Structure 1
């Protein structure tokens, strides 16, 4: 019996000797994090909404946590390149992904072959911002509001045209969702990026466009574009006199892209929670709230679990829009 007792104690000691240091290391991994620079992969060019928001937050994280957080732009393939790089990175918290509704919620329905599975390969860290669309027309357009747009489209089925940054991108799909909700038909004109479409809208080659407030607010203030509505469920502080689509007669309509931070799926939960806490503090600061709101962006303060649930709902919603658009990419 004594021998058996001694054997059992020895096994227990060996077990605790293996487990307790591992548990201690895991807690310290968050406590000591970060202890070197952190790379934030980003699948879009500098200057786009995702890039602007991520850089603003990266500067504050660097100040608050004492090590550099830097953005590494890897544009291309609708965010797929950066996303794939992120999921293949070491899951230690030193490679993050700043991304948006496109790669996370739209691409799974749009692409028949995708080299990642969002729910399996990524852990949601934190929201960054909700970026509503402005529905904009040329300043010489006779269309003054959403009611006028719907009336003109119904009087001339398929003759009004709208621009987008490309087939299957979020502003294309948002406009398709609006068409369904409003019961109208307009012709889609895809461009290779938003700036080219905006240029033609200003020049009168296309009739209307859904484009982010971050990308249009300066043109609106310069009176080069006229906003007739915003796509969020509530009005935005940067254009308080511009009504929402919902209050303009298409009740309940909302279609907004958003920006978030993610990480490889196996990053320790303690690090995810530490990053979430730090980013939410930044988003709640008066300086960042003011800066984001000046761009027509609302800070997106969520826990990792809330963001995960939000992503599920958004994925379902955008899948409907993809199906309605008929867009598919191999």
Structure 2
């Protein structure tokens, strides 16, 4: 089977798995030389995520947790804290012990866009987080129902111009990439 015959969803899951294994390998190598006198982790590790159970980021976090748990011989658990534009998860991370046993999976929006969108944030992206590496890449699609009169983005733009304020759209939260796009 060639890559071209693989469905986009399977390809995305595969790429996420490869990225996750890369992170696990990177973090594992960092602790590899210390097996005899391993000092980290000394207790279970928590991966906090602002995303709900069952989505792409949750799946990637669980793959990473499973791999790191085997490398470190310590439990690594995923703690989902959805809601509040990610601020609930960020607060849980900030309140955690500052011993490296808490990790957080964030969206680029939390680190790059929110500082420009919100006058006051409960965190400082530059001071509160050290970004290790991107875990996966995802694409967002502008979609309509198959029975829609819109067949191109141009059709939607033309209708929006002809009927200002009459069209609606949905996205999962304020400030997310779809909302900003």
Q: Distance in 2 between matches of 1:73 and 1:96?
A: 12
Paired position in structure 1 for 2:113: 106
Matched, 1:118 2:119: no
Alignment counterpart, residue 47 of structure 1, candidates 39, 54, 57: 54
TM-score by length of 1: 0.40
Paired position in structure 1 for 2:149: 142
Matched, 1:127 2:111: no
| Higher-RCO chain (CA-CA 8 Å, sequence separation at least 6) | 1
Matched, 1:84 2:91: yes
Shift of 1:165: 2.1
**After superposition, what is the alpha-carbon deviation per residue over 1:210-252, rounded to whole angstroms, capped at 9, x for unaligned?**
xxxxxxxxxxxxxxxxxxxxxxxxxxxxxxxxxxxxxxxxxxx
Gaps of 5+ in 1: 1-26, 175-330
**After TM superposition, what 4+ stretches of structure 1 lie above 4 angstroms from structure 2?**
27-30
Q: Distance in 2 between matches of 1:57 and 1:28?
A: 15
RMSD between aligned residues: 2.5
Paired position in structure 2 for 1:70: 77
- Write out aligned runs for 1:1-330 (5 A): 31=34, 32=38, 33-174=40-181
CA 1:64–1:85 in structure 2 vs 1: closer, same or farther (change >3 Å)? same
CA 1:28–1:72 in structure 2 vs 1: closer, same or farther (change >3 Å)? closer
Q: Give yes or no for contact 1:42–1:98 (8 Å, CA) kept in 2.
A: yes
**After superposition, what is the alpha-carbon deviation per residue over 1:96-154, rounded to whole angstroms, capped at 9, x for unaligned?**
11121232223222332222101011111221112210111011002122233333333
Q: What is the number of residues matched between the two proteins? A: 148
3-state DSSP of counterpart to 1:129: coil
Rg bigger for which structure? Answer: 1
44-53 or 121-130: bigger deviation = 44-53
Q: Give yes or no for contact 2:85–2:173 (8 Å, CA) kept in 1.
A: no
Paired position in structure 2 for 1:227: none
Shift of 1:29: 10
TM-score by length of 2: 0.69
Q: Distance in 2 between matches of 1:28 and 1:140?
A: 55
